[in-house]
Chain A
Amino acid sequence: MPHISLPEGIPGISSGFAFRPETAKPMRELAHELLHAPNTLSGAERELIATYVSNQNDCYFCQTSHGAAAAAHLGKNADTVNQVKNDFLQANISGKLKALLVIAGQVQQGGKHVSSESVREARKLGATDLEIHDTVLIAAAFCMYNRYVDGLATWQPHDPAMYATMGQHLAEHGYTTPSPKP
């Protein structure tokens, strides 16, 4: 049961958003800019970073919904999502994305864990300053979203079809419009 009276029948972060629309607006806009707006990193790459960090933070709703969004972007290569969650260094992704995931994992542990070596490695593999910035901020932002979703003890149904529908919606439309109700 959620720690506070959240609207019923709305899963995960959407219930926090419905409870407090004032804070939902900038939180949606931030996710939209980081994960969906045009960027030199693809939608799939950015959703994989979000999924990986949410997995490290053990947030079921976030890792499953963003994993579904990444899968929707990846189409026939959707199994890459599980590879990244299990062992991204062996996953079927670019060396640059691996280097960015190393940075994201350091941010998840704490800002001071980010090392000059890992930043240099990412740059050597072609990452730009903007891509490094966005990786740090995506990872940091998911340390917020994950804590928000679990810290309120939101309802997180285990329903693969619901997450697949949500992932498709997020991949196509982004974050400024609510996902269809389950």
Chain B
Amino acid sequence: MAHIQLPEGLPGIRGAMAFRPETAKPLNELVEILLHRPNSLTPGERELIATYVSTENDCYYCQTIHGAIAAASLDGDETLVKKVKVDFMNAAISEKLKALLVIAGQVQKGGKHVTAEAVADARAAGATDIEIHDTVLIAAAFCMFNRYVDGLATTQPRDEEMYRERGKRVAREGYITVSKDYMPQAITR
């Protein structure tokens, strides 16, 4: 049971966002820019970073929904998503993404854990300053989202098909559009 009275029937962050639309609006805008808008990192790459950090933070809802969005962005390759979660160094992803995942894992432990060496490695593998910036901010943002979802003890159904279907929709339409399902119209604009 959630720690506070959240609207029923809305799992994970959706219940919290419906409870407090004023904060949901900037939260949805932030995740839309970081994960969905055009970027030199693909949506699949960015969703893998979000999924990896959520796994490290042990947030079931976030790692499952972002894993599903990542898979939907990667031609349905759920095996790759699972591999990144448990052992990204040996996953079939670019060296650049591996180096960015190292940075994301350091951010997850704490901002001061990010080393100049890890940043130099990412740059040597072709990462730009904005890609390094976005990796740091995606990892930091998921240290927020994960704590928000688990800190309120939201409902997190164990129903892979639900996440898979939702993941396809978010990958296609983005976070702001999909949020209109549960957010008051005046706030989502």
Contact = CB atoms under 8 A, between A and B. Distances in A.
Are A and B interaction partners?
yes
11 contacts: A19-B133, A23-B33, A26-B27, A57-B110, A114-B153, A130-B20, A132-B4, A147-B107, A147-B136, A152-B114, A152-B136
A139 B148 CA distance: 9
A147 B111 contact: yes
Given A132-B4, A139-B147, A58 B133 contact: no
Given A114-B153, A147-B107, A148-B140, A27 B22 contact: no
Nearest to B109: A147
Interface of A: 3-5, 16, 19-20, 22-23, 25-27, 29-30, 33-34, 37, 57-59, 106-107, 110-112, 114, 116, 119, 129-130, 132-134, 136-137, 139-141, 143-153
Contact of B29 (A26, A140, A149): A26
Interface of B: 3-5, 16, 19-20, 22-23, 25-27, 29-30, 33-34, 37, 57-59, 103, 106-107, 110-112, 114, 116, 119, 129-130, 132-134, 136-137, 139-141, 143-153
Interface of chain B, helix or strand or loop or mixed?
Answer: helix
Given A111-B147, A141-B144, 4 more contacts: A4-B119, A27-B26, A107-B147, A130-B20
Nearest to B34: A23
A139 B143 contact: no
Contacts of A59: 111
Given A3-B114, A30-B23, A33-B22, A111 B133 contact: no
B111 A29 contact: no
Given A133-B19, A147-B136, A5 B30 contact: no
B111 A22 contact: no
A176 B103 CA distance: 29
Contact of A133 (B4, B112, B146): B4
For the complex of A and B, the 4 pairs showing the least CB-CB separation, nearest first, are: A150-B111, A111-B150, A144-B144, A147-B140
Contacts of B30: 23, 26-27, 30
B112 A58 contact: yes
B29 A33 contact: no
A151 B153 CA distance: 28
